[in-house]
Structure 1
Amino acid sequence: MAVPVTVPVASPLIDLHGVAVRYGRVQALADIDLRIAPGERVALVGANGSGKSTLLRVLHGLAAPSAGQVQLDATQRHAMLFQRPHMLRTSAQNNVALALWLRGTRWRDARAQALAALRRVGLEAIALQNARTLSGGQQQRVALARAWALQPGVLLLDEPTASLDPHAKREVEGLMADLAASPADGSAQAVTMVFSSHNLGQVKRLASRVVYLEQGRIVADLRVHEFFNGPLPEAARLFVKGEIG
C-alpha cells in the first residue's frame, strides 16, 4: 500500500539528507531524509532496534553519520534527555548549575539560575538533596530543569518516561509540553521538540507529527491525526495496534 512518507517543510531548522549510520556490521540508520521546522513536536516511533535512539544521537551530534548530510541551524542550542539521566553525587541544584557553569556562567549565577529552573519544575524544596537519592521521576524532572536552564531551541528526548510509574509519567509529560511551549529565554518561538516513545497515548497528546522507523529507515512521516487515522504500512499498522513493539 502506498503511503505518504514525507511531511513537506518549507524552512527547516533540521535537515537530514541520505543519512546512514553503521556500527561495524550493524546498519543502524539507512538513507534517512528528514526535515523539521521550528516549533514542531516530532515523535519518533517504531519497534525496539528501529533506529530511534541513533537518530536522536545524530541530531544531537553524539553519533557521526557514515554517509549523508546533516544540516542544523547553528544559532539554536540543543539539549538532550536520556531515558535514565545521569546524576552526579551532589545536590540537585549543583547538578543543574554545573551544566550552566560548563557553558561559561559564573558559579554564583549558575546556582541562582539552577534554583529558578528547579522551581520551574516544582523541585525547589529538594534543591539541596543529593540527586542520586531522588526517585526516578524526580531525577527526570531535574534533568528537564537542567535542559531548560540551558535555554535550548531544540529539545531532544529519548524515551523520557519509559521507566517511570504512571504518576511520574504524567508529571514529566506535562512538563515536556509546558517547557516546549514556554522557552527559558522568553522568546515567542516555541521550542522544537523531538522525542522517541512507545507510549502512543503520549504521542497523541504531545506530537504534531509522527515519524515511524523500521530497521533504520523512515517508512512513514505523517501529521499526528493522519498517522492514527489514515492508511499505514503494514508494520506501522501492527505497531499502532500493539502487535509489535
Structure 2
Amino acid sequence: MRIELKDENQEEPKQIDENDIHNKHESDLTKKEKRQLEKEKLAGMGLGAKLGYIWAYYKPQMAAIVGVIVLIFAAKDIYDNAQIETALTMMVIDSYGMKQAGAEEAVENILGIQDDPYQIVTVDESLRTEGDGAALESYSQMSFTTKVAARAIDVLVGSEIYIDSFENKEEYFANLRDLLPEDVFEKLGDPEDPYSISITSQELASELEVAYEPIKISILVNSEHTENAVTWISALAEMAD
C-alpha cells in the first residue's frame, strides 16, 4: 500500500464565498450591490479614468437628462414668443444709421411699454430710394408692396418728395384729420393733404437717423395698431422745432 504524505507547505484550496458580491455573476447582483461595486471601482481610479467610466456607463441617462433640459428651454422659448405682441411697426425710408434699437426704445417710451417684455416696437430701416428720391429701388419696392399687403407696416416715414409721390393716397394712407387730436393736426397736418403730417425736428431726425427735412409721416390705411400710431404722432408735436 502506498501512503502519500501531506506536504505541510502546501496551501489549502481557498473556499469561495458565494455570498461575496465580488464572486457573484452580474445578473445575480442586487441594485445595492451593483452600486457598491461601482463605488469601489471609482475609488481606485484617477480623475480622467473616473470621468471616462462615468460617461461610458451613464451616457444614455445623461443624454436623456440633457434632452429633457433642452426640451424645457425650447418649450419656454416657444411660450415666451407666443406671448409677444407687436405694438407698432414703422418703416423708415432712407435711414443712414445703425441705431435701430435706439429708435425702437424711444417709441416704446412714448407708448409706455418700455418695461413690458411682451410688447415690442419694430423700426425697419432697410428700404432705399433711387434717383431723385421719389421712388424706391426695385428690391425695396417689392419688399414694401409685400409688407403692405401683409399688413406688416403701421407707420411710413419718408422724405417730402417720397411721400408726396404717391398717387391716390387714400388707397394707402389713413385720413389723419379724422384720427389725430385736433390741436395736433393743426400743428403738424396740412388741410390740403390730410394723409400725412410734416415735422421738422433735429431730435426726431437723430433718433430715426435720416438726413432729410421736413420728415413726413403717414399711417397705413390697413394698420392694425392705429391707436398706438396716433399716440406716437401726437407726442411728436412737442418735438417740433
Max radius of gyration: which structure? 2
Question: Which structure features the higher share of helix residues?
Answer: 2
Common fold by TM > 0.5 = no
Whose relative contact order is higher, 1 or 2, with alpha carbons under 8 Å and at least 6 apart? Answer: 1
Q: TM-score normalised to the size of structure 1?
A: 0.26
